[in-house]
A and B are shown apart, each in its own frame.
Chain A
Amino acid sequence: MPGSVANFLWCLGTLFELCFVVCSLVRKSFGRYFFLNLYFILSVLASAARFVTLTSFGSDSDQYNYTYFYTDALLTLGLFVALISLYSHVFGELGFSKQIRFGAVLLLLGTAAFSYGVVQQSEGRLATKFAYELSQNLYFVGLVLTYILWGAVLKLREARTRLVQFILALGLYFSAYAASYALLNLADKYAVIQYLSQLLACLLPLSLSITMLRHAEDSRIATAPLVAVQR
């Protein structure tokens, strides 16, 4: 069984995820951000499945390994769909909804084909390796997609507070995860770094919940005025 700090962070993260869903229901925005809510509901269910497997079989069992990697692939897929739904919010009004759906399907199929290409030569447990590879690759696709969305929000001067803060939170989450991964490789002897990724997983639903509670759907942020360059 993992240590008490890991368990505490796990419980805290799951509570924050539930908190986001409750906040969405209270602020009557569940349908508007349905895929973000779906991602957090799936995450809570994954936590429950992982907890049952962990307590029944232990952290070094094959059962926990399988549950962990398969649920992770499912969650990454959920996060990808949630990200695409944010794209629809930003570009939907410009009449690009059809192109976004087409692009998302292409990206998903491309990532799946690439992942299959990587794992097809390995022996045995092909499905598990595929789930793991797909999860990793989709994470990196999500990282690039978030930065593009960040750029689009700046370029289009998007003013919807909630949407902008959701995208900023996701961008920070993806970036911090990549940084924690690099740190883990550089200095894995420090135990505190191992808790960093768990802490980040707690901060995402917390920041989204705060945004949901503090800002109404119609609230807008003032965009920075253009800087006039004198010639």
Chain B
Amino acid sequence: MSRKLGTLVLALGILVGAMGLKTVLTAKTKGTVLMANNPAPFPTIKQKPKP
């Protein structure tokens, strides 16, 4: 297997693994969001009024 093909397979594997991990971790969330940068306070999300 060439190096290029190996890199392609590895990149796809990482992508599938990462998205799978995300699906598992965010499956039962209560609407909280994960923001992994900077210590700035999270904005207050306005709830839309129900019609």
**Which one of B15, B43, B44 has the greatest number of beta carbons of chain A within 10 Å?**
B43
CA distance A12 to B33 in the complex (A): 23
Q: Is the CB of B43 within 8 A of A14?
A: no
CA distance A137 to B8 in the complex (A): 19
Task: Give residues 1-29 of A contacting B (CB, 8 Å).
Answer: 2, 6-7, 9-10, 12-14
B19 to chain A, nearest CB (A): 6
Hey, which chain A residues are within 8 Å of B12, CB to CB? 106, 110
Q: Give the dominant DSSP class at A's interface.
A: helix
* Band of interface residues on A: 35 or more
User: What number of residue pairs across chains A and B have CB atoms under 8 A from each other?
Assistant: 123
Q: Is the CB of A106 within 8 A of B19?
A: no
Q: Is the CB of A60 within 8 A of B4?
A: no
**Which of B3, B10, B34, B41 has a CB less than 8 Å from the CB of A136?**
B34
CA distance A15 to B32 in the complex (A): 27
CA distance A75 to B37 in the complex (A): 7
Q: Is the CB of B35 within 8 A of A2?
A: no
Q: How many chain B residues touch A (Cβ–Cβ < 8 Å)?
A: 34
CA distance A75 to B41 in the complex (A): 15
Q: Is the CB of B11 within 8 A of A75?
A: no
Hey, which chain B residues are within 8 Å of A178, CB to CB? 25, 34
- Given the known A-B contacts A43-B37, A99-B3, A103-B7, are A137 and B30 also in contact in the complex, defined by CB atoms under 8 Å? no
Hey, which chain A residues are within 8 Å of B8, CB to CB? 106
Q: Is the CB of B37 within 8 A of A201?
A: yes
Q: Is the CB of A177 within 8 A of B36?
A: yes
**B-contacting residues of A (Cβ < 8 Å)?**
2, 6-7, 9-10, 12-14, 43, 46-47, 50-51, 54, 59-60, 64-65, 68, 71-72, 75-76, 79, 99, 102-103, 106-107, 110-111, 114, 132, 135-137, 139-145, 148, 174, 177-178, 181-182, 184-185, 188, 197-199, 201-202
**A-contacting residues of B (Cβ < 8 Å)?**
3-4, 6-8, 10-12, 14-15, 17-19, 21-22, 25, 28-30, 32-46
9 residue pairs A–B, Cβ–Cβ below 8 Å:
A50-B38, A71-B38, A72-B35, A79-B37, A99-B3, A103-B7, A110-B15, A135-B35, A137-B18
Q: A9-B39, A10-B41, A59-B41 are in contact. List 8 more A-B contacts (CB 8 A).
A: A47-B39, A51-B40, A59-B43, A99-B7, A106-B7, A111-B18, A135-B35, A188-B32
